[in-house]
A and B are shown apart, each in its own frame.
Chain A
Amino acid sequence: MLLRNVGNEKQQERARLNRMEIIDAKLSRRDLIRYGLLAAGGMLVAKSGLSIRASGAATLVSPRTTPWAEPLPIPQPLQPNTSFDLSKLSAGLNGDSSEAPRASHQLWDYYKPRKFYEIEEKQRTWSFHKDLPTQPIWNFQGDSDDSAHYAEPTLHARYGEPIVVRNKNNLPANHKGYGIPDTSTHLHNAHNASESDGNPSDYYGSGYYKDFHYCNKLANDDPNEALGFLWFHDHRLDYTAQNVYRGLVGTYILYDELDCNDETNVNGFRLPSGEYDVPLVFGDKVFNSNGIAYYDLFALDGIIGDKQTVNGKIQPFFDVKKRRYRLRLLNTGPSRFLSFKFSNNMPFWQISNDGNLLPKPIKRTSINLTVAERVDIIVDFNSATGSDVFLMNVLEHIDGTGPTGKILNPGTPLLKFNLGPTAADGSINPDQIDKLRGLPVMDTVINKTRTWIFNRQNGAWSVNGQLFNRNIVNAKCKLGTAEIWNFENGGGGWSHPIHMHYEEFRILSRNGVAVKPGDVEYARKDVIWLHPGEKVKVYVKFRDFTGKYPLHCHNVVHEDHAMMARYDIVDGPAS
C-alpha cells in the first residue's frame, strides 16, 4: 500500500534541504525570488497526470429575464446637508467615539469645505430586474431608507468648491455571506490626500464613520489638469471584489467653468448637459436559480457573469429624445472587459479618456472599456433612424484570463434606446469643436525610472515578484518630481487593467510605439489595459500631497489576491 520509492525519497530530501537552506541562510523573500527558489516550475516538469478538465466551479446560468422591461434608472445627485454647521469640522478628528481614525487633513486651511454631504453605507433592497426577486444589496445613499432609491448614486462637485463627505458605515455587523462589513471608500482618480483617498488598508467597521475631505483641487493648479468623471467604490483589502459586487459603487462628476453642466453657456464647452448628461454604470453579475446575485467565493482568476447591469438594471430601456447626449460610461467589473458599439453601427464622439476631456473629440464606432475605465461619449440620436437603437457589448470574455479578443456579431445588447421626438439641442456639434481640454506640459527632468511587472504567481498575483504587504513601501517618490514608470505584463496570457491611485499618468508608448496626438490614449489616464506581453511606458508627476497610495490590478479578484504595491509620496529623496 505504501508507494514509497526512490524518487519520492529524493523529493522528500529535496524539500528538507530547501527548508534547511531557507532557515540557515535567513533568506528574505526577495532573495528567494532572486535565487529562483520561488519560481514556478523550472526544476523538472513532472506531469502529475491530473485531469485537464476546466475548473470545478459549476457554470452557473442566470434565470431568464425579459429584456427591455424596465426603464434605465438615472442616478440623482446627492444633496448636501445645508443645516450642518461647517465650522464644527476641522483638520483633525472630531473627537467622538464613532469616528474612525485617520491622519489630519492636509491643506485644510487652504481648502476649507464649503459643502457637507452625508453618505450611509447600508444594506438596502434592490431589484435588478422585475423577473428576479427584490434582494439585499449594499450601497451608498444619502438617506437611511431601507430600499435603494437608485443603484448608483452620484455626487456633483465643482472645482473651487471643497467638500467633506461623511461616510457612515452602517452595514450589518453580523452579516452572513460574501462581503465583509468593513469599508474604505476610494474616490477613484481623485486628486485627494492619502487620508481621504480610501486606501485599502484604512478600513473601518460597522458603526463608525469617517470624514473624507475632497478638496476638488486642480493638480498643480493647472486648469488642464481638470478631472471630469470619477467613481467611488469600496476598497477594503482582500474583500474589494466581494464588496463592490454587493453594490458599493457610485459616481462623482466634477465640473469647472468650461465643463460647466450648461450647454447654453457660450463661455463653456457646450457639451450636452442636465438631463442629457447621463452616467451609464456597467456591472457584470450572475444570479443563482433563486434569482439572487451569486458570487463565486472560490474563484482566484476573475468573476465573469452572464448578466450585465446598467445603472443596476438588467437590459433596461431609455427613452431618449432625438438630439445629442453625453453618456458617461463606467465599467465596474469585477473582471469583465467590455467593447461597445451601437446596433446600427452609428458613429459617436469620444470626448474623454478615464473621465478627462480629450484635446479634441474623436469620432469612432466602437470603444473598449476595461474595468474601472471611464469614457464620455457624445451620441446624436437625431442621426439614428427607426424607433430604437441598442448599445451592444461585442467583446468575448469567458474567464478571468482576460478577453479572448474575438469580436462577437452581433454581441449582447445591454441597453435599448427608444427614440422619441426631436428636441431642442443647445449643445455644439462635436465636429465643430477644435479644442477641448489641452494636455499639461510634461517635465523634461525625470527624477527616477521604475519598472512594475505584473505577474501570476501560483494562483496568486504579484507585482515585481512581491506580494502586497501594507507595511512595505515599494517606491518612495519625491514630492514635486516626475518619474517614468514602465508597466510590464509578466506573461501567461493574462490581461490586467492596471490602476494607480491619486496621480494620473500619460502613456508615452506601448511596446515602444509612441502614443501620438489624435490617439485616444493621447490623454491623461489612471487605468491601463495591459494586454498579454505588453510593456507600457508612462510619465507621472507627484504633486500637492504626501502619503501612501496603492497601485494595483483592477481585475478586483487579482487585486484581492495580492496584485498590489504601495508607493509613498515623500518630502525627501526618492528610493
Chain B
Amino acid sequence: MSSSHDSLRTLDYSVIQQCMHCGFCLPTCPTYDATHLERNSPRGRIALMRAIADDRMELTRAFADEMYFCLGCLACMTACPAGVEYSQLFETSRAMAEKSAVLSNPTRRWTRRLMLKGLFTRPRLLRLVGRLLYFYQTTGLQKLFRRLGLVKLLPSRIQQLEPQSPAVRAKFSHQLIAPVETPQNGIIRYRVGLLTGCVQDLVFSNINRDTADVLLANGCEVHTPPVQFCCGSLHGHNGESETSRVLARRNLDLFDIEGLDAIITNAAGCGSHLKTYDRLLAEDKRYAERAAIWSTKCKDISEFLVQIGFRAPTAKPANLPIDKLTYHEACHLCHGQKITVQPRRILKSIPGVRLTELAESTWCCGSAGIYNIIQPAMSQQLLSRKLGHIANTGAAIVATANPGCHLQIENGAKATGSNIQVLHPVSLLAIAYRTE
C-alpha cells in the first residue's frame, strides 16, 4: 500500500510552500558549508523539490544524487523559524527517487535489496549474520583474511569498510535481558517497553543491558520482547517507505501499547523515526490510532529519565577518567528530537563528572545512517572536523547517544591513534549505579 507521502506531487503542498527562502538554514548545513553551492543547501534542495511538485522539473538523476548528498542530519530543521518539515520532504524525495529508479544499477539494486529488504527486515537472519561476523572477528579468521591480503579481493567500497566493521558482541540483547524484568525491591512505578534496535543489538547489546538496569533502578518494570524488528528508519531515510511501514506495523504488534507507560529507545536515529509512526501510518485505517498512541509514548531514554525525575547516583564510577568528559550530540537527538539538555543533565548528575562542552557539538559527525558508506569523502571530512574539536577539549571520554555516531567516532579516533573512549550517557549512569 503506497501513501500520498511517497511523492512530492501528492504530498500536501503546504509542506513545500512552507519554505519562504529566508536562508536561515544555510550556515547550519554541513554540505552547504563544504561547497557553498546553493544546490547543496536546504533551501536549494527544497527549491528543487518544489520544482518537481510543480511539474517544472523532471525527477532527474542529478536530483536523486542531491538527495543522497544530503546527510539527513536535520540541522536545517532546528534552524528554520518557518517550521519547514524538512525530514518529511527529504524522505518523500528519496522515496520518489527510488521509485523512479533513476539511480538504479545492478550492484546498487542488489546491495539495497540484500541490506534493506533481506537483512534489516529479518531480525533472526540479522542476528545470524552478526553471529558469523563475531565468529570471523574472534576466531582469528579476520586476522588471517587480512594477512593473506584477501581483503583486496573485495570491492573497493567494502574494502574501505572492512576495518570499520564494528566488533560484534558475544551476546545479543535477548541473551542479556529477560522478556520481563522487575525492580529488585518489587516496587513498580512504571511499566515500560524497551526497544533493542539492530546495530545496538549486535554491537552494543551492553548499552541495552545498561538501559534496562538504569530503568530498573528507577522503579520501572522493563518489557523487552526477545525478537524485535528493525524500526524502519534505515528504510524510511533511504526511500523504502513501504518497507518502513511494514516494519512499523510489526513493532506496533509487538508491544502492549495501551498498557505500557512508555516505550524506550536509546538510539537517537531510531527514536527520531519511531516517533513519526503516527505520520507514517496516518492513512492506515487499522493502525493509525495505535500509531498515534505509540508516538506519544515513545521516548528517548534520557528524555524519559529526566521526565520521571531519575535518581542521581551517589558513587563515582571507578577507573574511568570522567573528569575529562565531553558530549557529542547525535543529529537525530538534538535536531530530530530536540533533546539537548536531558543527556547533559544525566551526565552532570554523576559524581566526579566534569563536562567540557564540545565546539560545534550539534554539527554532524558524518555517520548519518549509511552516509559514511555512500558518501565516504564528505563523511571523512566531517569526521576529521569532529575529531579535531574533540581533541581540543582534551577529553578522555566522549559521551554520545547513537550507535552510528558511536562507531564513527570510535573508528575515527582509533585510526588517528587516539585512545579516547566512547560511551553512551546511560552506560555511564549504569556504571555509577553499579559502583554504589
Question: Do chains A and B interact in one complex?
Answer: no
Chain B interface (Cβ within 8 Å of chain A)? none
